[in-house]
Amino acid sequence: MDFALNKEQELFGSYVRKYLTEQGTTNIARAFINGDRQRFDQAFQGLVELGYPSINVSEDYAGMGLGLLDMVLPLEEMGRSVLPGLFLETNSFAVPLIEKYGTEKQKQKYLPAIADGSLQISVAWIEPKGSYKASSIQVSGVEKGDDFVLNGVKSLVADVELADTFLVPIRTTSSSHEEGISLFLVDKAMIKNVTQQQSIDETRKLSQIHFEDVIVNKEQLLGELNEGDNILEEGLLSFNASICAIMVGCMAAIVDMAAEYAKIREQFGQPIGRFQAIKHAIANMKVDLELSRSLSYYANWAYDTAAEDRQESIFAGRIFIHNALQKAAAANVQIHGGIGFTEELDCHLYVKRARYYEHYLGSRESYYEKAAAALGW
Amino acid sequence: MDFSFSKKEEKFRQELRTWLEENLPQGWLHGDRELPEDINEYSRFLRDWQRKLYEGGWGAIAWPKAYGGREASLIEEIIYQQEMVRVSAPPLVNYVGIHMVAPLLMQMGSGEQKSAYITKIISGEEIWCQGYSEPNAGSDLTAIQTTAVKKGDRWVINGQKVWTSFGHLADRCFLLARTSKGEKKHHGITVFLLDMHQEGVETRPIIQMDGEHEFNEVYLNDAIAYDSDIVGEIDRGWQVMIALLMHERTGIGGQVFTLEQQFQDLVTMAKEWTEDGQSVIKKESVRNALIDLYAKSRGSLLNYYRNLTKTLKKGQPGSEGSLDKLIVSEATQELFALSLSIQGPHGILWKQDAAIGDSYWQNKYLYSFGMTIGGGTSEVQRNTIAERILGLPKDLGR
């Protein structure tokens, strides 16, 4: 019985914390919001030097060959800083799928480049007014010789500017496959028409991608034709295990922030942390944080060890942790009072990121359904 | 990270499991778990069970071998609790004696006290209760008003205790009484090992909101104790009480394992309970509430294991115990509230008219209200979490 991360994992987490603290934590996100990418690029390069993007790339492709559990603490640190970037999409979603379903050529092309930080992947899944369900996917791919010709619009695509390649589910319906969805790796060079979308969470720049006769070679198909739906489901396991960790990091920062403020802010002649209305609100956050952390560690462990209960642990974990984060982020504003409502303090960054995660790559409702299905209910 | 138990630990589990199968009261494993109604028979039943555990070497596994224990490791104690929960073993009537009083006496009791009490505790010959809370001293134990005054060679004790578990069955009481008015409220308190079988001690039952009687009021009218009944030093009982709490090594492990089992029972109930011919687990609202509770009960267990890992590495438990206590008591309360909601309008039926079996869900629901009060209220736990873990300033008035 040993439910703790090991020394190496702790050490790696502390390196990332030290580095992001030096880089100014949420100031990276603030600069990014204001259109200054330089600070983010610098932070990203630093994380590359620490080895982050290579953690779960296998050793055959110049990675470290480690698991999701090794990414938990670095992700918590990124959550603390509300860091922009495609860390989840690239390492937690795309890497496990390319490792499992990629052709040798695809692996050679993408994995070493991801590991050395020269390539990032975003996910172009949902469509205007659509859902994440397979039945909702309308962007079409028509076979033409060695290529597929793509047409349609993807929406809410995160950080097109940072991405080099997109994972795109495409409807490849044919007479033999009425519900065929296939997954393509579409390189940015092929995409010409992108329009930006304003998002509440400005640490993520969202866009619509307009596919207008975009030609993609068959070699860019990930996995079997018309098997895209199942492959995406698998990607959601690793993605959600990681999103648990990043949300825990957001909460950890919130609890620190609220507790520190309650110690120094005085009203009625004493620190507001002496009042139980404030004190207990913070204690509740702390309880939720520790429950979330335990669920997150377990979800990641369950993924790495292919434990029998990995699906329910990951999906129910995401639901619980997201809910806890959203509550904590809101309570943090309230505890700070007037100053918490301003743009100046970081409170709003966490509120907005929490909202961003609510339905990202799968609605809350869909995760209830998936968790129940995994439990056999 | 490793959730498995070692071969040696699994061997221990198997040995205990086999012993339980052979020694639990007749019919117990097959669901025949009615405890006697009559108070004397009830007392005899639980004492017999304690004695059986003792004779089998399972009475107080963490104790030194010299006192009849087996010097069990912390992990073995955890396994012991898991196995007891698995078979819904009869309650441990002498919990206070085994987990608190005797270990404390081994640490700081006189030679006379050790030889007089320890063996009788493990064998179930003498049952112990705690005399802490008073009508005006609940969360604030320093406010106790029960007094002990020295007259000749006797200490004369007057006052009232309340919420005394098993006080009506107990032979002796671990009692806090005020022996002087100290500079601070927690000064001047002394611990007495009080004989419950005397004229000056009267117990009266408290009937709880679930209709059961587990707790008592204890009235002390010129009750008598002697110097030899004092543990530690006069007026320094607060330190003795703190030392006593440190002996409860496994924290709320038993409740955590129980919650895990109760959650499974709830899921089974939700599958079997039908409304207009359909299992209610198929209803979206029920399903979602159960998923939320699944996360919370798994989270309770995992958080307990994470804190246990810390305790194993550090050698002693930290303030995180208050977190686990708060989590498990509130989750249990939520679970039983949901269990009644699931039964729809019929959830209100009680006792012989209850819709399911022996009114298990209704009884547990009512009982669960005590869980966030007893053993330190949720408010006190939140104070502890905020002050000891997060370093927030102490409350007003303290």
Nearest-CA residue of chain B relative to A319? Answer: B292
Distance from CA of A12 to the nearest CA of B (A): 16
Q: Tokens standing for A302? A: 């369950």
Q: Can you tell me the distance from the alpha carbon of A31 to that of B393, in angstroms, rounded to the nearest whole number?
A: 35
pLDDT at B110: 96
CATH topology of domain B128-239: Butyryl-CoA Dehydrogenase, subunit A; domain 2 (2.40.110)
pLDDT at B191: 97
Q: Is the pLDDT confidence value at B16 over 80?
A: yes
Q: Do B393 and A270 touch (CB under 8 A)?
A: yes
Q: Which residue has the higher pLDDT, B40 or A349?
A: A349
Q: Where in chain B is the domain with CATH 1.10.540?
A: 7-93
Residues 6+ apart with CB under 8 A from A332: A254, A257, A258, A285, A340, A347, A350, A351
Give first-to-last CA distance, chain B, whole Å. 41
pLDDT at B386: 97
CA A261 to chain centre: 29
Task: Give yes or no: B248 in active site.
Answer: yes
Q: Residue A287 is nearest to which of B4, B292, B385, comparing CB atoms?
A: B385
> What residues of A are in contact with residue B394 (Cβ under 8 Å)?
274
**Coil/strand/helix, residue B37:** coil
Chain A residues with CB under 8 Å of a chain B CB are: 1-6, 69, 255, 259, 262-263, 270-271, 273-276, 279-280, 282-284, 286-287, 290-295, 297-298, 301, 312-313, 316-317, 319-320, 323, 368, 371-372, 375, 377
pLDDT band at B297 (very low <50, low <70, confident <90, very high): very high
Q: Can you tell me the distance from the alpha carbon of B290 to that of B240, in angstroms, rounded to the nearest whole number?
A: 43
Q: Can you tell me the distance from the alpha carbon of A292 to that of A298, in angstroms, rounded to the nearest whole number?
A: 10
Quick one: B40 exposed, middle or buried, by C-beta within 10 A (0-12, 13-18, 19+)? exposed
Rg (CA), chain A: 21
- The answer to whether the beta carbons of residues A285 and A331 sit under 8 Å apart is yes
Q: Tokens standing for B25? A: 């009261």
Q: Where in chain B is the domain with CATH 2.40.110.10?
A: 128-239
Residues 6+ apart with CB under 8 A from B58: B16, B19, B80
- The answer to whether the beta carbons of residues B155 and B191 sit under 8 Å apart is no
Q: Tokens standing for A32? A: 């990014």
User: What CATH superfamily is the domain B253-389?
Assistant: Butyryl-CoA Dehydrogenase, subunit A, domain 3 (1.20.140.10)
Averaged pLDDT for residues B357-378: 94
Among the listed residues B125, B248, B330, B334, the single catalytic one is B248
B176, containing H or E segment? strand B172-178
Q: Is the pLDDT confidence value at A175 over 70?
A: no
Averaged pLDDT for residues B257-279: 96
Q: Tokens standing for B106? A: 């081994």
Q: Which pLDDT tens digit goes with each residue over A244-262?
A: 999 999 999 999 999 999 9
Q: Is the pLDDT confidence value at B145 over 70?
A: yes
Nearest-CA residue of chain A relative to B280? Answer: A377
Q: Which pLDDT tens digit goes with each residue over B342-364?
A: 999 999 999 999 999 889 999 99
Q: Do B281 and A282 touch (CB under 8 A)?
A: no
Distance from CA of B386 to the nearest CA of A (A): 5
Q: Is the pLDDT confidence value at B250 over 80?
A: no
Q: Is the pLDDT confidence value at B398 over 70?
A: no
> What residues of B are in contact with residue A69 (Cβ under 8 Å)?
1
Rg (CA), chain B: 22
pLDDT at B318: 81
Q: Is the pLDDT confidence value at A85 over 90?
A: yes
Q: Which pLDDT tens digit goes with each residue over B53-106?
A: 999 999 999 999 999 999 999 999 999 999 999 999 999 889 999 999 999 999
Q: Is the pLDDT confidence value at A73 over 90?
A: yes
pLDDT at B251: 78
Q: Which pLDDT tens digit goes with each residue over B309-319?
A: 999 998 888 88
CATH topology of domain B7-93: Butyryl-Coa Dehydrogenase, subunit A; domain 1 (1.10.540)
Nearest-CA residue of chain A relative to B295? Answer: A316
Mean pLDDT of chain B: 94
pLDDT at B397: 66
- The answer to whether the beta carbons of residues B281 and B287 sit under 8 Å apart is yes
Amino acid at A329: A
- The percent of chain A in helix, strand and coil, each rounded to the nearest 5, is 55, 15, 25
> What residues of B are in contact with residue A262 (Cβ under 8 Å)?
392
Mean pLDDT of chain A: 97
Q: Is the pLDDT confidence value at A177 over 90?
A: no
Q: Do B385 and A292 touch (CB under 8 A)?
A: no
Residues 6+ apart with CB under 8 A from A213: A149, A150, A151
Q: Residue A259 is nearest to which of B4, B390, B396, comparing CB atoms?
A: B390
Averaged pLDDT for residues B284-298: 97
Within 10 A of A250 (CB to CB), how many other CB atoms are there? Answer: 25
- pTM for the structure as a whole: 0.96
Q: Strand A165-171 relative to strand A121-123: parallel, antiparallel, unpaired? A: parallel
pLDDT at A176: 65
- The answer to whether the beta carbons of residues B392 and A279 sit under 8 Å apart is yes
Q: Residue B385 is nearest to which of A276, A283, A323, comparing CB atoms?
A: A283
Q: What residues of chain B, 306 to 325, have a C-beta less than 8 Å from chain A? A: 306, 308-310, 312-313, 320, 323
Domains and CATH numbers, chain A: 7-118 (1.10.540.10), 123-224 (2.40.110.10), 229-374 (1.20.140.10)
